[in-house]
A = this chain, B = another copy of it.
């Protein structure tokens, strides 16, 4: 509509110049002053991911001339970390910043908005959301929770976690007490792993005492702060359950629908800017942290093909079971998988071979 209106003006011969002309009077309701609250699932100590919410608020304020303000509350400040979805759903807060796989227990389908085992990489996920059916499908999922979602952050491929002992074969998984996310746990428990729920701050002492055998958190930048490498030095990759983590902005649907259109558009653009910034932050700081971790004794190890293959096979069985149980899961899974299988071969051509060559050049130069 706005474009058409502009084109109409242009066709009427109104000069297109760089100078400002006096605007028509602005109705106050077009740009109301608003103060919202955002509940984050993240502690301020995990600053890169926490800042996805804080930067969204900053960018939104900037784009609205300081009129649309969002106050960001860290995990637990007004809402417990894992109850952000509920708080937004019932209107305790107008918006939240969270990762959908925290709500696997409510409904596994919601995880397609964050990360699923052997899923997409970051750019594939961005393409599915912005060009494929990802946005429409995740909006359909969140509609049940009275929420409008926006991508608001990416971490890149996460690490597979810290292990007290090496794991080389499928047998090594049996009885392993592993602190991991719920969807990964659902796959791994089929292979004998005993998934553990341990809050962030309790992971280090649990690893140290041997109450748990292994733990995954995010990646080098966040992991380093918690010191896991000192008590569980085997640092495995890749985190096949988080090939890309998409973090989301949740807006209460009633609050969203009451907004002027301009503010709805501003939310879209501010959250996207925050997403770009988070990915850039991780892509810059993870490498530095990894270097420091290795110098302090972290042992970088690749999951064996046997481990990856058994996990992949179990994940496919779990997907089939979840699809058989729930029509919406099947609909989203089929769309997601078809998209991934369509785009993945292309990523194996130019991107993969360019990266491969450059990684080897840097290795040779450094060695």
Contacts and interface: CB of A to CB of B under 8 A. Distances in A.
- Chain A interface, >50% SS class: helix
Given A238-B357, A265-B59, A290-B346, A22 B32 contact: yes
Contact of A349 (B10, B126, B260, B290): B290
Interface in A231-258: 237-240, 243, 252, 255, 258
A159 to B, nearest CB: 6
A127 B284 contact: yes
A122 interface: yes
B358 A118 contact: yes
Contacts of A132: 284
Given A2-B62, A272-B272, 7 more contacts: A2-B69, A31-B65, A63-B63, A130-B276, A131-B281, A287-B347, A312-B357
A343 interface: yes
B35 A17 contact: yes
A352 B355 contact: yes
16 contacts: A6-B66, A14-B35, A22-B32, A26-B28, A59-B265, A59-B269, A63-B63, A118-B357, A118-B361, A126-B276, A157-B351, A237-B349, A272-B272, A287-B346, A300-B349, A344-B359
Contacts of A64: 262
Contact of A283 (B23, B30, B123): B123
**Which bucket holds chain A's interface residue count?**
35 or more
Residue from A30, A220, A286, A349 with most neighbouring chain B CB atoms (10 Å): A349
A44 interface: no
A15 B238 CA distance: 46
B356 A344 contact: no
A273 interface: yes
Nearest to A239: B350
A39 to B, nearest CB: 12
B262 A268 contact: no
Nearest to A237: B350
A288 B132 CA distance: 12
A279 B358 CA distance: 21
Nearest to A66: B2
A29 interface: yes
A227 to B, nearest CB: 20
A26 B26 contact: yes
A19 to B, nearest CB: 8
A22 B28 CA distance: 6
A57 to B, nearest CB: 8
A339 to B, nearest CB: 8
Residue from A5, A59, A69, A290 with most neighbouring chain B CB atoms (10 Å): A69
A139 interface: no
A249 to B, nearest CB: 14
B36 A16 contact: yes
A79 to B, nearest CB: 14
